[in-house]
Amino acid sequence: MPEQIAATLIQALPYIRIFAGKTIVIKYGGNAMIDEELKKAVMRDLVLMRLVGINPILVHGGGPEINEAMKKLGKEPEFVAGRRVTDAETMEIVEMVLTGKTNKSIVAHLNGEGVQAVGLSGKDANLLIATKDTDNGDIGFVGKIAHVNPEIIHTLTNGGYIPVISSVAVGADGQAYNVNADTAAAALAAALHAEKLILMTDVEGLYRDFSDKSSLVSELTASEARQWIADGIVDKGMIPKLEACASAVEDGVPRAHIIDGRRAHALLIELFTDTGIGTMVR
Amino acid sequence: MPEQIAATLIQALPYIRIFAGKTIVIKYGGNAMIDEELKKAVMRDLVLMRLVGINPILVHGGGPEINEAMKKLGKEPEFVAGRRVTDAETMEIVEMVLTGKTNKSIVAHLNGEGVQAVGLSGKDANLLIATKDTDNGDIGFVGKIAHVNPEIIHTLTNGGYIPVISSVAVGADGQAYNVNADTAAAALAAALHAEKLILMTDVEGLYRDFSDKSSLVSELTASEARQWIADGIVDKGMIPKLEACASAVEDGVPRAHIIDGRRAHALLIELFTDTGIGTMVR
Amino acid sequence: MPEQIAATLIQALPYIRIFAGKTIVIKYGGNAMIDEELKKAVMRDLVLMRLVGINPILVHGGGPEINEAMKKLGKEPEFVAGRRVTDAETMEIVEMVLTGKTNKSIVAHLNGEGVQAVGLSGKDANLLIATKDTDNGDIGFVGKIAHVNPEIIHTLTNGGYIPVISSVAVGADGQAYNVNADTAAAALAAALHAEKLILMTDVEGLYRDFSDKSSLVSELTASEARQWIADGIVDKGMIPKLEACASAVEDGVPRAHIIDGRRAHALLIELFTDTGIGTMVR
Amino acid sequence: MPEQIAATLIQALPYIRIFAGKTIVIKYGGNAMIDEELKKAVMRDLVLMRLVGINPILVHGGGPEINEAMKKLGKEPEFVAGRRVTDAETMEIVEMVLTGKTNKSIVAHLNGEGVQAVGLSGKDANLLIATKDTDNGDIGFVGKIAHVNPEIIHTLTNGGYIPVISSVAVGADGQAYNVNADTAAAALAAALHAEKLILMTDVEGLYRDFSDKSSLVSELTASEARQWIADGIVDKGMIPKLEACASAVEDGVPRAHIIDGRRAHALLIELFTDTGIGTMVR
Amino acid sequence: MPEQIAATLIQALPYIRIFAGKTIVIKYGGNAMIDEELKKAVMRDLVLMRLVGINPILVHGGGPEINEAMKKLGKEPEFVAGRRVTDAETMEIVEMVLTGKTNKSIVAHLNGEGVQAVGLSGKDANLLIATKDTDNGDIGFVGKIAHVNPEIIHTLTNGGYIPVISSVAVGADGQAYNVNADTAAAALAAALHAEKLILMTDVEGLYRDFSDKSSLVSELTASEARQWIADGIVDKGMIPKLEACASAVEDGVPRAHIIDGRRAHALLIELFTDTGIGTMVR
Amino acid sequence: MPEQIAATLIQALPYIRIFAGKTIVIKYGGNAMIDEELKKAVMRDLVLMRLVGINPILVHGGGPEINEAMKKLGKEPEFVAGRRVTDAETMEIVEMVLTGKTNKSIVAHLNGEGVQAVGLSGKDANLLIATKDTDNGDIGFVGKIAHVNPEIIHTLTNGGYIPVISSVAVGADGQAYNVNADTAAAALAAALHAEKLILMTDVEGLYRDFSDKSSLVSELTASEARQWIADGIVDKGMIPKLEACASAVEDGVPRAHIIDGRRAHALLIELFTDTGIGTMVR
């Protein structure tokens, strides 16, 4: 009913006011990037954010599509400590899939909703500079973000564009590096002095006890997050996400969120309602 | 529920997009200016409009408060053809009430909602220039809008302020004139190249047959409006409103609306839902 | 004679140069606001100031007109320690008279001289924020300036407008407060980093001995002013004016003047001739 | 020797002056995109162009790399009338290779030379809009440029970036289309009001008689080009290039060139010396 | 007396308003350039003009100083039809005196009054382009203004500087030409869309009958001026001045004046009083 | 050959990049200002510098032309410690020659090459303020630079003009002073935060042993320069040049050069090749 629509808009008012003119970096991934209905909902959430004056920045990876492409080419994906072993041939596939396929598909979907999106990889304008990550031994062209050059993002957002960034970084020598998309999003959020980092996942959030779905943690500090990881009580799959959140907060981002991308319009719910969803690190 | 909130925002999306950056002139009056709940709802509607990039411009009269002040001063309000007979003393009261009381009350309410409003009368920066209206004989300082100088409005909206304008105009000699607020709003809408003129009233809209509440006219053209008035089938109280709408449309305002200000959030419902409310002249 | 005109302009040259681009806050009041000839002279002085590149800002009260309106409404003005006892009804009258009548009359006069003036009250854009003044007990809605938000003044002067401000301030709750116009002018001068504060009065200036017209003080420092007041040698009517001057100077305004508004073109004489008139606090 | 260096710079002076501030669209391809030495020379030519105030815009295809990728995936490239038969799977490969690999390799090379390059496909900000090309029957997702939205290019060049564009366009529905890079470069040159279009090829230019290398045509008009094609005297491989040049000139680009990319620094020689190289259409 | 000063400023007010923001080109010469008192008066007039928002542009010749320099160097000044016979050596002297001495003396005087003046010759930024004037046979490097490049003047006035221009123009080959300062001022006034051209002379103005000092013509049209010259009734010395005025008016300058520079503050009297002095061509 | 031209441009690339957007102050003098071929080469070097984004500022003296003019006027040039004895008459000649002849000749030559040059003396906009130099007793109007007002230079370079400045300064009283051009250039370089100061001379550079041409010093620090002068091992003619360089470096100019203006295109060789020429102070 029209009255309810109006009432809802008015309920969202204080949140719209808070975020107007702010930058929000979103790691887009999981089911929200696969399910057609969810994908469409995300695109519209981004359009709405832009219209109420928010600058959304999208960062994405694309594991499933990479695996599929590798298999077509007869290569078996291999992982060490959750990171993809990335020889030169694999890196080429990663880059082609993420930057040439996944990225442009998101861009085309956003443009279809009437905004203007521009896709970038970390190579463009030297946006994401990486060094080789040898934390797990030499597993090839796997990189750590060493530096972010955010100027191109400002150029694009000032021009009214939504930037969409694939998680490929560049080394000093022009070599492409495969970087974790959560980590890349965190680094970008810090470099852009973003108001929020939001990681879209396929879980509800962080559980105090992973086997007990009622133990969802709605809020913790960055130092608590670091402690919990050190104490070994964080589920392995959640560690890099929680680390990304902690690191963004440590670098000055006021709030970082892990939200459930399987829920339609999770972004709007997080931003514009007083329902806290997922887990917030601050 | 959060999902419904999100869904509602998404429903409003296409409308938000259409009006972003546009100017909408609103004649504020009737119950919406008297009832405390309705007043608050209007203020929030204006704040939301501003946040999604609309430039709302408020024009108001204030008949009941003028009458009340006159009575306190022992003067009996007198009307000819619906226009207040306005001798010099009455004009002074009109101006003090509208510009010194009603206007500033609206300004303070808006500021209380966190936006920045600035109140003006038609004297400020020669915004509304009037000549004496003698259509009903000499009934004193009753004026017709002869010219609008809209520069001050642009200065204020560019500075991020919401202008609130009392229906007092100024003659060539600095004399104040009492002008009809609907007409003043129409003239402003035309001078500002507004996207819409909205007149808030205490009726649902225009009825084909005033005694039959089911005969509400949802849409008509400016020339139809002129014809209906000429044909004598428009209720007397509605004539100046319908004329204001027709004249705004004839001067290039795409759409002019008569809406029911007794309905909470009537502005948002008109702007952001597909429910046509009231009567639209185009 | 033309030669004398030219010679005069040349004499004013050094003063014009000094004040070009500077802001000067003027408390307008007394006979200069009542006598038609004096009023016209003040308006022209302001126009000239604007043309030679000065930003004049006008602040006004309007005691006599308020008293007159109160009497018409059957209310007897009452004062405690020189401040008007201001119950809710009185406050409404004060606001209507100052903002709706006096202010707009000044605006119309200025516009009639070919400049563009815009009238404001302290409510507009939250220009003057007040808290209740209880120095003399509870005498109603009498306020002290707690904060000035000068942005709207910059917006207007950058747009080429002369701001005219009535001495009505606003409390945190939107409540109107009656504030002393001299004090409001001093607070504005400080907030605007004005070059000068000029208070127009109906006396020649400050006398060392009020009964001896030859004891006019042409210059004193802010701390001397404070001392003289403490020593009880300042005439009661002059105390708030001298305090306003001292406080402006203490807050960084280089010079504050009390001048005789009964003298035609007192503003120009003060600004553009080497004749020191009135009393200067520095 | 230093004196010769200086003398050379001075010889280039008039040409530098002519092109300062101008946009030049370059179709990059052939050996110049494969041979490492030539590639490096092109990158430096572009850097120099940028430093002397030219806005170079790079457009590229990447036929050999697409063929290679298809073969790895067990697909046999197929052509009709010189256009690649492009089923959905092939289109995905084309897009991944051009936008994800070739484009980013060029970007990284340019950035390695100290400028700031940004890679785009025609999908980004809806830069290149295509409709299906059925001139040779239905050969799949092969497109014709229907419209160019050049705003993103202006945003990037104003920001100091060199845009590098892959020849992938987008249909109304978000579908990717494989477009001819020469044609895309011509359409961009027209939309950007470029001073020049330069097509880098692996031949010296257009021959009057393809079997006689001494019959190189150094200059012809767009209408002569159209006539020669109609007369059947243009070598088949050269027809799309000559058509691209003619169409750019017809759309207002002053000069279009077919130059030999196998020659090191062919771009600088064309731009900054009085040696006419290749074939110019005007 | 202060009151008179103020009254005078107010009398000048309407004139100040008319000329604010306007460009006025002044040919400075005659006694006003020689007599120390008059010189000082002119400098102050210019400073005042600048302070009230006028853009004064000064053009000067310097016949007497040239003659003096020539005599020191043993060369006898020679004239044909009032134009100086200008061989190469004479041209060098003319340029050195006008640009190196007279011009810089004026600049230093203006700067001494607290404004910022910049001296130019017609060679600077190719301000005044001349062709050889052979109307009186070959009398050497005597030129006619063929073109004005006014951009440098806008750069200087926008920067707040007063331009002072010597009447030396430049030919296509870089050769200096001696041009008439009245004519140069007229050409500049037209190219700058000046509001006024003012020629300072040593006569009261144009006389209908040169022998009858009571026959001063206060106003005539450009076509009347042309007719009078054709009719032979204009004094020979006045012809080039009247022609300069007529030509400025024909090229769009609203009013051109011949005024008596021997009168102190003649510029201010002309601009800021209602006393018409000299002769006006319109 | 075209390939060599291209190769040369590419060699210059790194140097062009370093100096883009930087200010370089050049003292122009010696044979490079007399020999027609050298003069033309310098002009073109300046044009090229401008085209590749450098802001060149030219400062010049003109001893030989002054001597020549003095002789024509029957005055014998006289020097004390290398400084010209400058009585009032001599000062007038100096100013006329430098500002009226030499300066405008350089301006016309530059304009002939297609750039826009504007000539100034230190009097214009009070660019160079001097006090009397009495280091060698009273030798007349010989000045020391006391202050530089560089705003006019920024106005001109922002407008795209090349400033050309004669070595005449102005005293507090408007009096012209003859200043050393090397010293003036050094003071300007410091005031403009220039990247380089280049003094063009008629020697190869500084020799450790003036009689041994193989002892050219290619580089020394400012403090070494001061020490060498104190130690008396610097050739007398070179002392003011070396002092100018040292003083510029001490005031923050990164590098100051003494180069041989007799060599064609010495400026380009210094700036754009890796051949160090002359002597560099840093």
Cβ-proximal residues to C73 (8 Å cutoff; 6+ apart), any chain: B72, B73, C93
pLDDT value of residue A240: 93
pLDDT of residue C205 exceeding 70: yes
Q: Categorize the per-residue pLDDT at B1 as very low, low, confident or very high, splitting at 50, 70 and 90.
A: low
Q: Which of A266-270, C106-110, D79-83, E246-250 shows the lowest mean pLDDT across its residues?
A: D79-83
Positions of D marked active-site: 27, 30, 63, 182, 241
Distance CA F235, CA F206 (A): 8
Q: E188 to chain F nearest CA, in Å? A: 17
Give me the residue spans of the domains in chain A: 2-281
Q: Is F21-281 CATH 3.10.129.10?
A: no
Subunit contact B16:A51, Cβ cutoff 8 A:
yes
Residues of A in contact with D126 (CB under 8 A): 111, 116
Residue A114 buriedness (CB in 10 A; 0-12 / 13-18 / 19+): middle
pLDDT value of residue E11: 86
Chains in contact with E, where contact means 3 or more Cβ–Cβ distances below 8 Å, are C, F
Cβ-proximal residues to C197 (8 Å cutoff; 6+ apart), any chain: C24, C25, C26, C27, C185, C186, C189, C244, C245, C248, C253, C255, C256, C257
Return the residue of C nearest to E42 by Cα: C10
Q: Categorize the per-residue pLDDT at C1 as very low, low, confident or very high, splitting at 50, 70 and 90.
A: low
Residue D175 backbone phi and psi in degrees, to 5:
-70, 135
Q: Which of B116, B124, B174 is closest, CB to CB, to C109?
A: B174
F215 touches chain D (CB under 8 A): no
Pick the CATH number of B20-223+240-281 from 3.30.470.30, 3.30.70.270, 3.10.20.80, 3.40.1160.10: 3.40.1160.10
Subunit contact F45:D10, Cβ cutoff 8 A:
yes
- Tell me, yes or no, whether chains C and E touch by having 3 or more C-beta pairs under 8 A: yes
pLDDT value of residue F166: 98
Residue C96 buriedness (CB in 10 A; 0-12 / 13-18 / 19+): buried
| Per-chain mean pLDDT for chain D | 94
Residues of B in contact with C121 (CB under 8 A): 104, 119
Active-site residue, A241 included: yes
| Per-chain mean pLDDT for chain C | 94
The residue-averaged pLDDT of A39-68 equals: 94
Query: Could you tell me the fold of the domain covering E19-281?
Result: Carbamate kinase (3.40.1160)
Residue E251 identity (one-letter amino acid): D
Structure tokens at A104: 């442009």
The four Cα atoms E59, E65, E70, E73 give a dihedral, to 10 degrees, of -130
The residue-averaged pLDDT of C25-47 equals: 95
- Closest by Cα among A11, A25, A35 to A153: A25
E173 touches chain F (CB under 8 A): yes
Active-site residue, A278 included: no
D100-132: per-residue pLDDT in tens?
Answer: 999 999 999 999 998 999 999 999 999 999 999
Q: ipTM score of the complex?
A: 0.94
Percent of residues, chain B, with pLDDT higher than 90? 82
Pick the CATH number of C2-281 from 3.40.50.300, 3.40.309.10, 3.40.50.970, 3.40.1160.10: 3.40.1160.10
Subunit contact D174:A126, Cβ cutoff 8 A:
no
| Per-chain mean pLDDT for chain A | 94
Residues of D in contact with F3 (CB under 8 A): 263-265, 269
Structure tokens at B162: 């919401």
A110 touches chain B (CB under 8 A): no
Q: Which of F2, F12, F20 is closest, CB to CB, to D9?
A: F12
pLDDT value of residue A277: 87
Strand boundaries in A107-263, DSSP class E: 117-121, 128-132, 143-148, 162-166, 168-170, 176-178, 196-201, 206-207, 216-217, 219-220, 255-260
Catalytic residue among C22, C35, C39, C63: C63
Subunit contact E118:F152, Cβ cutoff 8 A:
yes
D37-61: per-residue pLDDT in tens?
Answer: 999 999 999 999 999 999 999 999 9
Cβ-proximal residues to F111 (8 Å cutoff; 6+ apart), any chain: E123, E125, E126, E170, E174, F117
Q: Categorize the per-residue pLDDT at C11 as very low, low, confident or very high, splitting at 50, 70 and 90.
A: confident
pLDDT value of residue A260: 95
The residue-averaged pLDDT of A220-248 equals: 95
Q: Is E63 annotated as a binding residue?
A: yes
pLDDT of residue D13 exceeding 90: no
Residues of E in contact with C45 (CB under 8 A): 6, 10
Q: F267 to chain D nearest CA, in Å? A: 9
- Closest by Cα among A258, A149, A148 to A197: A258
The residue-averaged pLDDT of A56-64 equals: 94
What CATH class is the domain D23-281? alpha beta
Percent of residues, chain D, with pLDDT higher than 90? 82
Q: Which of E11, E41, E263 is closest, CB to CB, to C5?
A: E11
Residue D85 identity (one-letter amino acid): V
Q: Is E278 annotated as a binding residue?
A: no
3-state secondary structure of B274: coil
Which positions 114-143 of A are in contact with B (Cβ < 8 Å)? 114
Subunit contact E95:F72, Cβ cutoff 8 A:
no
Question: Cβ–Cβ contacts within 10 Å for residue C123, how many?
Answer: 30
Q: Which of A193-197, B47-51, C31-35, E5-9 has the highest mean pLDDT?
A: A193-197
C36 touches chain B (CB under 8 A): no
Residue C208 backbone phi and psi in degrees, to 5:
-65, -40
E111 touches chain C (CB under 8 A): no
The four Cα atoms C234, C237, C239, C242 give a dihedral, to 10 degrees, of -100
Select from C1, C3, C9 the residue whose CB has the most chain E CBs within 10 Å, as the one to mutate to test that interface. C9
Q: Are F229 and F172 in contact (CB under 8 A)?
A: no
pLDDT value of residue D1: 67
Q: F274 to chain D nearest CA, in Å? A: 8
Q: Categorize the per-residue pLDDT at A1 as very low, low, confident or very high, splitting at 50, 70 and 90.
A: low
Return the residue of E nearest to C271 by Cα: E6
- Closest by Cα among A20, A27, A23, A22 to A245: A27
E7 touches chain C (CB under 8 A): yes
Q: Is D178 annotated as a binding residue?
A: yes
Catalytic residue among A22, A35, A40, A63: A63
pLDDT of residue A276 exceeding 80: no
Those residues of chain E that have pLDDT short of 50 are none
Residues E80-109: b if buried by 16+ CB within 10 A, e if exposed: eeebbbbeeebbbbbbbbbbbbbbbbbbbb
In angstroms, what is the C-alpha Rg of chain C?
Answer: 18
The four Cα atoms D140, D146, D149, D153 give a dihedral, to 10 degrees, of 70
Q: C207 to chain B nearest CA, in Å? A: 38
pLDDT value of residue E1: 67
Distance CA C147, CA C162 (A): 22
User: H/E element holding A63?
Assistant: helix A63-72
Residue A106 backbone phi and psi in degrees, to 5:
-60, -45
Q: Which of D52, D114, D272 is closest, CB to CB, to F5?
A: D272
Give the CA distances from residue F103 to residues B123, F109, F115, F127, F167, in Å, rounded to whole numbers and listed in that order: 58, 10, 16, 15, 10
Structure tokens at A233: 């009580």
How wide is the angle at C-alpha B140 spanned by C-alphas C94 and C68, nearest 5°? 25
Residue D210 backbone phi and psi in degrees, to 5:
-60, -25
pLDDT of residue F123 exceeding 90: yes
B46 touches chain A (CB under 8 A): no
The residue-averaged pLDDT of A197-222 equals: 92
Return the residue of A nearest to B12 by Cα: A5
Q: Kind of pairing, strands C255-260 and B83-84?
A: unpaired
Structure tokens at E78: 């020679």
The DSSP letter of residue D207 is E
pLDDT value of residue A221: 97
More confident call, F169 vs A215? F169
Sheet strands side by side (includes A279-281)? A117-121, A162-166, A55-60, A23-28, A196-201, A255-260, A279-281, A219-220
C-alpha F192: how far from chain center: 14
Structure tokens at C8: 């005069």
pLDDT value of residue F50: 93
B55-109: per-residue pLDDT in tens?
Answer: 999 999 998 999 999 999 999 999 998 889 999 999 999 999 999 999 999 999 9
